[in-house]
Structure 1
Amino acid sequence: MSDPYVGQIEMFAFGFAPKGWAICAGQTLPIAQNQVLFALLGTTFGGNGTSTFNLPDLRGRLPMGQGNGQGLSPRTVGQMGGEATHTLLLNETPAHQHTLAAAAHADTATNTDAPGPTVVLATTTGKQKGKSMPVTIYATDTAPNQALAPAAIGTNNGGQPHNNMMPYLTLNFCIALQGIFPSRP
């Protein structure tokens, strides 16, 4: 690799920073020993600006290009955001409905006292010699479900955060501490 630009960030497939580079882990550096890098970064990533400045922290983060793409939010160098997990709020779920369906049909009761794979339990009130009493009836389940009048069931939201990460491969982001000072256009 030829001499990098000071402040250039590269990905490495090994777990250390080469000589003249530092891992992008948000560490604080003294300005006095890193004046060239400070001239480029300033306090964009932190530090007090009089004696210290910070390197970018790319641990567990994805880099994003600066600017304002069509239909996208504007992003500036050093801006951080996002979250590793997220709990959806009601206003973040799309509008939708759940259809309620039921079977409506008359059937002849069968002579059985236990449900089976083709029978369903129905409870009703019957009359015997002028007395009202509960009667358990099993009927074959032959009618298809039919949509009822438009109705929606209440929201059911677990309220738990979910993982908010795309598939990833971890590499080592390092920044050049030494090299060529980049000229401005």
Structure 2
Amino acid sequence: MDAFVGEIRLFPYSSGRSVSGWCLCDGRQMPISQYPALYSIISNLYGGDLKTYFNLPNLTGRAVMGSGRGIGPTPSDPTLTTRKVGDVAGERTSSIEPINIPSHSHQITGAAYTNANNIDTPDATTVPSAPFNIKVYAAYNSGAIPATLAPTTIGDAGTAYTAPIKVANMQPCLQISSYYICLDSGGTYPIRP
């Protein structure tokens, strides 16, 4: 199958092999004077100095994404960004910070506790007047006794972590080999509409 100059193909064998008329898409600089046809097609979309060299696209360790505005859950989803040819996007890792986590709360449920046994407490004027086995105590107070729990009784589970946490951000993939771009000597110059 013939190729067009500037066409990019995925080759299924080791990227260490040299392919006649093709060059690895690794972002390298190419002299404009040596590859004028390829330069006329991709120009400086992927970098260059506009005078003596241009860069090939760098697809090393990257997935390819089409240009334009992506389609989200709805066609008018404002969260999707318009991408143009030559844009680089994405990160190998993402930082998760407190602002990335939605606010939430945890409900604690339990039954109100009542004493199984009422214990009467002697007051300061109570004096024992009888020997062993005789109960001496103040009158029973049936009113509720306010209680404040110690601060350590209920608290946060774990420690707050405020520094960003890096997490892997890679889609499932299969490494085949590398992308190659067709050079001037490897293909036919495409007719542009």
Q: Is the 8 A contact 2:11 2:180 kept in 1?
A: yes
Q: Where is the strand percentage greater, Structure 1 or Structure 2? A: 1
- Distance in 2 (alpha carbons) for counterparts of 1:164 and 1:15: 25
Q: CA deviation at 1:153?
A: 5.8
Name 1:63's counterpart in structure 2: 64
**Distance (whole Å) between structure 1 residues aligned to residue 122 and residue 87 of structure 2:** 79
Identical-residue share of aligned pairs (%): 34
Query: How large is the RMSD of aligned CA atoms in angstroms?
Result: 2.8
Query: Is the CA contact (8 Å cut-off) linking 1:31 and 1:53 kept in structure 2?
Result: yes
1:119 paired residue number: none
The aligned amino acid for 2:95 is: T
Matches within 5 A, 1:41-52: 41-52=42-53
Tell me which residue corresponds to 1:86: 94
Q: Does residue 161 of structure 1 match 2:162?
A: no
Aligned to 2:150: none
Matched residue type, 1:33: Q
**Distance in 2 (alpha carbons) for counterparts of 1:167 and 1:41:** 30
Moved more, 158-167 or 96-105: 96-105
Partner of 2:133: none
With the length of structure 2 as denominator, give the TM-score of the two structures: 0.66
> Between Structure 1 and Structure 2, whose CA radius of gyration is higher?
2
- How far apart are the structure 2 equivalents of 1:85 and 1:129? 68
Residue 95 (structure 1) aligned with residue 96 (structure 2): no
Counterpart residue number, 1:112: none
Q: Classify 1:128/1:174 alpha carbon distance in 2 versus 1 (closer, same or farther; 3 Å).
A: farther
Q: Match for 1:77 among 71, 81, 85?
A: 85
Contact 1:98 1:153 in 2 (8 A): no
Structure 1: gaps spanning 5 or more residues: 110-126, 131-151
C-alpha contact (below 8 Å) 2:68/2:84 kept by paired residues: yes
Paired letter, 1:12:
F
